[in-house]
Structures are given as structure tokens and as C-alpha cells.
């Protein structure tokens, strides 16, 4: 291949003038989202924190949103890119409604759309810096999937993004089973969110749980989890050795 | 301080492992303090499993054991060294070793090497002052904790501890919890695998339960076993022991100066 021909093309792709147009690194970020299938549908949980680097800057960021009649989406990563994705999805649902043909996009289709968008942006070296969880119920069929910023996508009975993969997935693998009731599902999600609260530095103690069933979507009011800090070893850690830490 | 340790792999073995410790802090004098340490048994060299059944729970003193994550050579060497130092100290003082002694020796050694000795340790033991559990990071910082995990599988194991640990666990419950945490690491982390080793330390007694659980047995074993092909010529089936050439003379004169 002629090097002279490709050089300007490469320069344009990763050029310095167009750097202001590409997402190079995230600024305001949300942390993990955890989702599970349960008996009647899907449950998603996410906290309401938007971190600006190491500062917990925004504490009322809603990272769980409904999409059309049959799906809910949860996003972690760059919040502005999530808002952009919501605009794309609103447009998608709008065009779907304009067909007015009695059909509506289900969660599997929305998931596929998101995968294509994310992968396409990644190929242009301008990713939407998010990891998304997409869940929903249509015609009795439950669906729960995830897409990452590079377009990696899969569906499973339980998914998580970010730190949730390391801390929540092991718990879900152990304790998830088919036909969880709503209360059991919420309890399991809260267990995961509590571990994340203890061990993820960008987690805040203010979370929402979103539920979707055949009937529709409910996103709960924000609430906080109870935490326990009174272990004996924390009370007097240097009991055996004065002056150490 | 970061909770997850990513050890740079610069050749040599790497024990990217889980060490889980769980401590029973018993309040009151009725029951003795239990200390349980657990570890998996996988040693990796980059993407390859070098040793499927290595020992990661190292002896420091009769009442102190140390689990090591990070570079295997470093954890072995540093625990051996401090173990010898503790023994000399025991002879010198005439007393049982204390966990904080081992802690101070380890942390000052690791600090002086500024993190280049890539050993992340979970140190536990029961001494005259009670049961103790500490984590030691490669740069030399330490924590005192009711439960601790280190290594690549530490998040998976910590998820189990954070959700299921409570104070006042008895011996069997404690062992079960530690084994569960290690299994979480074994099955959810690629750097951990094979079997579960447990060490239970109580006042005056320790039990090293090697391969307490083996949740990864070989599934397909040929029933026939191995046999030589029929063409192999068997020459001789007699075993001839080699004879010693050295003759030791008792009561000989001492060597001349």
C-alpha cells in the first residue's frame, strides 16, 4: 500500500484538530449498574452518583430510564454520552410510534440497536463511553442484556457493569435462581449494592431500583442502604500493639 | 489505598491468588479466639498454570501463619526469612511469638525495598494478646481487619465476606465461610483455581487442612490406566541396590592439625 496515500487519512482519523470532537476520556461518570431477571420481569439497580474524577460531584443523577413500553436501560460511564444515547433512543421510539402499526420495539431489538450504535462509534475511534444494561419484557418473554463501549454485548440472567462485574457477579452466580420473587430479587440486588457501597470508592448511598414487567415500568424513589461499621477489630485495631496502625 | 492489587508480571512465577482470611473475634473469655486463613492452590506464569496444587499458606511460627499473594518467590522468601527471625527471637526471649512482631518485621522489610518485593500478605495468628489478622501490602503498609482478602480474586472473595460475615461465628461456620469465599475466587477469577487450603489457629493449637476442598477433580480418567505397548521388550525385572563405597570407621583418631 502506498504510504503517502494512507498518511493523510490516518492523520484525519486521529488528527489533533479533530480531537476536540472525539471522546478521549470520560469526565462525569456513573458507577456500576446491576440487573437480574426475576419471576415477573427484570430488576435493575443503580446508585445516583455522578463523579467528576475523584469528587462525588452530583448525587441526583438518574441512571435508570425507561425506553418505550417494553424496556428499561441503565448506564454507567460518561453521563453526557448517556444523555446522547437517550436522545437516540427517544428518536428511535418516536419513529417506531409514527409507523402506528400496532407493533412496538421490544428489548431485544433496542439492545441490538444499541450494540450497532456502540460498535459503529468505536470503529470511528469516537466511542460513547458507557456500559449499558438493557432489560425488558415483551409478550411474556424476559430479556436482559448488556453492551459495553466497544460493542461487546451479550445477554444473561444477571448482568453488571464496571465494578459490579467483580463484586456483584460472583454473588449473583451463587445466589440467583429462576423464579425469584420481587422481594427476593430486591434483597439480592440490595446485597450486591451494599457490597459495592463498601468497596467501590465512587459509589454513593442513594440508589434506585427499576422494575419492568408485562404491566409496565416502575422506577423507585431514591433510598439509602443500612451499613454496619461496628466490627470489634475496627474499634481498637492497635489493641495488641500500641503505636502501630 | 487501592484494594485491588495488580502485580506486574515481569517473568518468574506469579501467585495471582486469593488469600482469604476471616477472623473470629470472640468477645468474652468463654470461647477461645479462632483465626481461619484460607487460600487456593493455583500458581500462574502469565496465562499458564504453573502449579496446580501449590501451598500458599506459609508457616511463620507455631501460632502464626501467613498467606501470600503476588510473586511466589517473594512471598516464599520473605515469609521464610521472617519465620527464621521469629524463631531466633523466641530463643532469645523464651516466649511465644506475637503476631505484631511478625507484622513489624515484614512491613519494615517490604518498605525498605520500596514495593519491589512483590509480596501481598495476609498474616494471622493467635498469641497471648488474642487473635489478630493483618494485611500487608508490597509497599509496606498494613491494616488490621476482621476479615481480609488479597490477590486477583480478592474482589470475588471480598463480596462473599462483606455480605455474609458476622461476629460470633463458630469454628465450623467460619471454615465454611472462608471456603465459600475461596471458591468464589476459584470459580469467578481466572488467576485462582484448583483446591482450597484452610488453616485454623486457636490458642495453643493449629490445624492445617491441606486440600480441605477439591472442587475441581479430573473428570475423565481412563479406566484402563496406562500400560506399555505389547512390543516393548522387558529386559530384566530385578532391582539392584547401589552399594555404599564409603566406610565409616568408628573411634578413629581426630584429624591432625
Q: What is the mean pLDDT of chain A?
A: 90
**pLDDT at residue B26 tops 70:** no
The pLDDT value recorded for residue B3 is 33
CB-nearest to A240 from B130, B146, B160 is B130
pLDDT grade for A127, boundaries at 50, 70 and 90:
very high
Pick the more confident residue, A74 or A234: A74
Residue A241 contacts B where some CB pair is shorter than 8 Å: yes
Q: What is the mean pLDDT of chain B?
A: 82
Chain B residues interacting with chain A (CB cutoff of 8 angstroms): 3-4, 23, 25, 27, 98-100, 103-104, 127, 129-130, 132-133, 142-146, 155-156, 158-160, 162-163, 167, 184, 187-188
The pLDDT of residue A7: 54
The DSSP bridge partners found for residue A28 are A52
Among the residue ranges A42-46, A123-127, B87-91, B228-232, the one predicted with the least confidence is: B228-232
pLDDT at A13: 54
Q: How confident is the model at residue B241 (pLDDT cuts 50, 70, 90)?
A: confident
Q: Which of A170, A194, A244 sits opposite B160 (nearest CB)?
A: A170
Model pTM score:
0.80
pLDDT digits (tens, 9 = 90+) for A191-242: 999 999 999 999 999 999 999 999 999 999 999 999 998 887 788 777 766 6
Q: Which of A163, A167, A233 sits opposite B23 (nearest CB)?
A: A233
Given a cut of 80, whether residue B125 has pLDDT beyond it is: yes
B-contacting residues in A 182-201 (Cβ below 8 Å): 191-192, 194-195, 198-199
The ipTM is 0.81
pLDDT of residue B74: 93
CB pairs A-B closer than 8 Å: 73
Q: What's residue B245's pLDDT?
A: 72
Collect all residues of chain A within an 8 Å Cβ-Cβ radius of residue B100. 240-241, 244
Least confident of A231-240, B60-69, B198-207: A231-240
Does position B114 have pLDDT exceeding 50, yes or no? yes
Confidence band for B219, pLDDT divided at 50, 70 and 90: confident
The pLDDT score that the predictor gives to residue A5 is 55
Whether residue A64 has pLDDT greater than 70: yes
Q: Which residues of A touch B146 (CB under 8 A)?
A: 231-234
Question: Which residues, listed in sequence order, are joined to residue A58 by a DSSP beta bridge?
Answer: A50
Distance CA B133, CA B149 (A): 11
In this prediction, residues B32-55 reach a mean pLDDT of 84
pLDDT the model gives residue B4: 37
pLDDT at B19: 46
Rounded CA-CA distance A235/A229 in Å is 9
Distance CA A17, CA B145 (A): 52
**What is the mean predicted confidence (pLDDT) over A162-167?**
95
**Which of A170, A191, A240 has the CB atom closest to B188's CB atom?**
A170
- Minimal Cα–Cα distance from B5 to chain A, Å? 13
Predicted confidence (pLDDT) at residue A119 exceeds the cutoff of 90: yes
pLDDT digits 0-9 by tens, A43-52: 999 999 999 9
More confident residue, B234 or A219: A219
Residue A163 with chain B: CB contacts under 8 Å: 155
Q: What is the share, in percent, of chain B residues with pLDDT greater than 90?
A: 46
- Of all residues in chain B, the one with the smallest CA distance to A198 is B162
**Residue B7 has what pLDDT?**
46
Pairing of strands A64-67, A71-78: antiparallel
DSSP-derived secondary structure for A69-122 = TTEEEEEEEEHHHHHHHHHHHHHHHHHHHHH-SS----HHHHHHHHHHHHHHHH
CB of A170 within 8 Å of any CB in chain B? yes
The confidence score (pLDDT) of residue B252 equals 63
pLDDT in tens, A130-161: 999 999 999 999 999 999 999 999 999 999 99
Q: What percent of chain B is modeled with pLDDT above 70?
A: 83
| Per-residue model confidence (pLDDT) at position B29 | 30
Q: What integer is the mean pLDDT of B71-83?
A: 94
Sign of CA dihedral A112, A114, A118, A121: positive
Given an 8 Å threshold on Cβ–Cβ distance, is A238 in contact with B144? yes
CA terminus-to-terminus distance, chain A: 63
Contacts of B132 in chain A (CB under 8 A): 240
For B131-176, what is each residue's pLDDT tens digit? 889 999 999 999 888 899 999 999 999 999 999 998 888 999 999 9
pLDDT value of residue A61: 95
- Check residue B79 and give its pLDDT: 95
pLDDT at A23 over 90: no
> How close B145 comes to chain A (CA, Å)?
6
Please report, for residues A139, A154, B95, B153, B199, the alpha-carbon distance to residue B224 in angstroms, rounded to integers and kept in the order given: 54, 42, 56, 38, 37
Pick A86 or B18 by higher pLDDT: A86
CA-closest candidate to residue B181, choices B222, B205, B151, B223: B151
Query: Confidence class of residue B221 from pLDDT cuts 50, 70 and 90?
Result: confident
In 3D space, the residue among B39, B68, B41 whose CA is nearest the CA of residue B53 turns out to be B41
Query: Which of B3, B63, B100, B159 is most worth mutating to test chain A (most A CB atoms within 10 A of its CB)?
Result: B159
**Higher pLDDT, residue A168 or B221:** A168
Instruction: Return phi, psi of residue A115, to 5°.
Output: -60, -45
Residue A197, Cα to own-chain centre: how many angstroms?
16
Nearest-CA distance from B248 to chain A in Å? Answer: 54
A218 catalytic residue (yes or no) = no
- pLDDT value of position A241: 65
pLDDT > 90 fraction of chain A, expressed in percent and rounded: 82
Amino acid at each position: 500500500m502506498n504510504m503517502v496515500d494512507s498518511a493523510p487519512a490516518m492523520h484525519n482519523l486521529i488528527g489533533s484538530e479533530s480531537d476536540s470532537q472525539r471522546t478521549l476520556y470520560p469526565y462525569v461518570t456513573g458507577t456500576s449498574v446491576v440487573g437480574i431477571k426475576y419471576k415477573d420481569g427484570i430488576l435493575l439497580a443503580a446508585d445516583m452518583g455522578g463523579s467528576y474524577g475523584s469528587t462525588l460531584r452530583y448525587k441526583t443523577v438518574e441512571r435508570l430510564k425507561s425506553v418505550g413500553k417494553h424496556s428499561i436501560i441503565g448506564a454507567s460511564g460518561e453521563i453526557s454520552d448517556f444523555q446522547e444515547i437517550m436522545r437516540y433512543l427517544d428518536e428511535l421510539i418516536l419513529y417506531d410510534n409514527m409507523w402506528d402499526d400496532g407493533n412496538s420495539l421490544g428489548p431485544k431489538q433496542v439492545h441490538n440497536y444499541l450494540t450497532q450504535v456502540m460498535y459503529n462509534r468505536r470503529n470511528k475511534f469516537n466511542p460513547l463511553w458507557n456500559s449499558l444494561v438493557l432489560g425488558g419484557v415483551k409478550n411474556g418473554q424476559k430479556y436482559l442484556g448488556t453492551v459495553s463501549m466497544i460493542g461487546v454485548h451479550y445477554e444473561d440472567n444477571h448482568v453488571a457493569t464496571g465494578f459490579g462485574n467483580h463484586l456483584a457477579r460472583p454473588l449473583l452466580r451463587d445466589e440467583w435462581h429462576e423464579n425469584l420473587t420481587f422481594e427476593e430479587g430486591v434483597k439480592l440486588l440490595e446485597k450486591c449494592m451494599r457490597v459495592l457501597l463498601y468497596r467501590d470508592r465512587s459509589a454513593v448511598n442513594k440508589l434506585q431500583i427499576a422494575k419492568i414487567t408485562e404491566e409496565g415500568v416502575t422506577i423507585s424513589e431514591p433510598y439509602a442502604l443500612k451499613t454496619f461499621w461496628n466490627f470489634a477489630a475496627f474499634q481498637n485495631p492497635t489493641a495488641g500493639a500500641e503505636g502501630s496502625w | 489505598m487501592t484494594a485491588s492489587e495488580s502485580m506486574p508480571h515481569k517473568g518468574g512465577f506469579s501467585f495471582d491468588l486469593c488469600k482469604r482470611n476471616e477472623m473470629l473475634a470472640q468477645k468474652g473469655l468463654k470461647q477461645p479466639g479462632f483465626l481461619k486463613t484460607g487460600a487456593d492452590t493455583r500458581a500462574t506464569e502469565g496465562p499458564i498454570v504453573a502449579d496446580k496444587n501449590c501451598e500458599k499458606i506459609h508457616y511463620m511460627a507455631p501460632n502464626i501463619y501467613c498467606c501470600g499473594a503476588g510473586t511466589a518467590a517473594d512471598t516464599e522468601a520473605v515469609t521464610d526469612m521472617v519465620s527464621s527471625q521469629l524463631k531466633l527471637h523466641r530463643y532469645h526471649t523464651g516466649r511465644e511469638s506475637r503476631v505484631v512482631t511478625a507484622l513489624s518485621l515484614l512491613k519494615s522489610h517490604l518498605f525498605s525495598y520500596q514495593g519491589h518485593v512483590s509480596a501481598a500478605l495476609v498474616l494471622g495468628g493467635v498469641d497471648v494478646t488474642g487473635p489478630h489478622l493483618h494485611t500487608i501490602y508490597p509497599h509496606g503498609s498494613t491494616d488490621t481487619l476482621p476479615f481480609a482478602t488479597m490477590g486477583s480474586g480478592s474482589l470475588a472473595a471480598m463480596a462473599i465476606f462483606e455480605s455474609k460475615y458476622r461476629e460470633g461465628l463458630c469454628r465450623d461456620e467460619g471454615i465454611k465461610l472462608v471456603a465459600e469465599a475461596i471458591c468464589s475466587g476459584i470459580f469467578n477469577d481466572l488467576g485462582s483455581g484448583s483446591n482450597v487450603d484452610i488453616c485454623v489457629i486457636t490458642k495453643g493449637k493449629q490445624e492445617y487442612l491441606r486440600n480441605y476442598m477439591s472442587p475441581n477433580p479430573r473428570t475423565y480418567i481412563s479406566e484402563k490406566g496406562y500400560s506399555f505397548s505389547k512390543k516393548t521388550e522387558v529386559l530384566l525385572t530385578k532391582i539392584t541396590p547401589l552399594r555404599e563405597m564409603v566406610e565409616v570407621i568408628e573411634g578413629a583418631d581426630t584429624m591432625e592439625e
